[in-house]
Amino acid sequence: MSEFSGAAGAEKLTAYEAKKALLSHKRRERVKEGFLHRTYRLIKELTGLNRELASAPLISDEQKREERMRIVRDCWAPVYGGLTGFIDSAWSYITELGADAWDLVLMAAEAIVTALYYGRSALIWILDVFYDIRLIAEEKKEKLFQIFAGLVCAGAVGAVVVSSLTGYEYSYYGRTLGIARDRNDVYQTISVLGDRLSEATGANVSLDVERDIEFRRVFGLHLDTQSKDDILSTLTYMKDIQVKAFAINIDGEDTVIMEDEAAARALLQSVMSDYTAAASGVEYQDAHFEEGITISEVNVLLGDIWNADSARRYLETGSTKQTPAATDKPKLTVATTELATYYEEIPYGTRYIDNAGLYLDETELISEGKNGETQYVARIERINGEEVSRTIVSSTRVSSPVDEIMYRGTKPLPAREGTGVFDYPLRSYTITSRFGMRWGSMHTGVDLAAPMGTKIYAADGGVVTYAGSKGTYGLLVIIDHGSLYETYYAHCSQLLVSVGDQVYKGQNIALVGSTGQSTGPHCHFEVRYKNEPHNPLDFL
pLDDT of amino acid 202: 46
pLDDT at 308 over 70: yes
Amino acid 18: pLDDT: 60
CATH of the domain at 356: 2.20.230.10
Same domain, 218 and 263: no
Q: CA-CA distance, 513 to 451, in Å (whole number)?
A: 8
The tens digit of pLDDT for each residue in 331-360 reads 999 999 999 999 999 999 999 999 998 888
Co-location of 532 and 423 in the same domain: yes
Does residue 212 sit within a domain?
yes
199-240: per-residue pLDDT in tens? 554 444 555 666 667 778 877 666 777 776 776 666 665 555
CA–CA separation, 343 vs 10, rounded Å?
113
Same domain, 233 and 249: no
Between these two residues, 519 and 165, which has the higher pLDDT value? Answer: 519
279 located within any domain = yes
- Do 279 and 186 share a structural domain? no
The answer to whether residue 169 sits within a structural domain is yes
Together in a domain, 293 and 403: no
Based on the domain organization, do 372 and 424 belong to the same domain? no
Entry pTM:
0.46
Q: Which domain holds residue 32?
A: 6-75
In this structure, is residue 148 part of a structural domain?
no
Question: Average pLDDT over the chain, rounded to whole?
Answer: 82
| pLDDT reading at 171 higher than 80 | no
Number of domains in the chain: 5
64-120 pLDDT, tens digit per residue, is: 787 778 877 777 666 666 666 677 777 778 888 888 888 888 888 888 988 888 888
Q: Is residue 3 pLDDT above 50, yes or no?
A: no
| 253/323 same-domain check | yes
Distance CA 419, CA 483 (A): 10
Cα gap 135→129, rounded to integer Å: 10
pLDDT for 461 equals 95
Distance from C-alpha of 314 to C-alpha of 495, rounded to nearest angstrom? 59
Same domain, 268 and 252: yes
Q: Which of 350, 380, 407 is the last residue of a domain?
A: 407
User: Residue 106 domain-assigned?
Assistant: no
User: Residues 353-379: pLDDT tens digits?
Assistant: 999 988 887 888 999 999 999 999 999
Residue 1's pLDDT band (boundaries 50, 70, 90)? very low
Please tell me whether residues 533 and 420 are part of one structural domain: yes
Domain end: 239, 270, 286, which one? Answer: 239
Please indicate, yes or no, whether residues 425 and 478 belong to a single structural domain of this protein: yes
134 part of a folded domain: no
Helices (H) and strands (E) in the chain, counts: 11, 26
**Do 532 and 439 belong to one domain?**
yes
Find the length of the chain. Answer: 540
Q: Classify residue 154: in a domain, yes or no.
A: no
Phi, psi (5° rounding) for residue 329?
-125, 145
**The pLDDT of residue 121 is above 90:** no
Say yes or no: 207 and 228 in one domain. Answer: yes
From CA 162, how far away is CA 68, in angstroms rounded? 105
Answer with the one of 29, 47, 75 that is the final residue of a domain.
Answer: 75
Q: Would 37 be classed as within a structural domain? A: yes
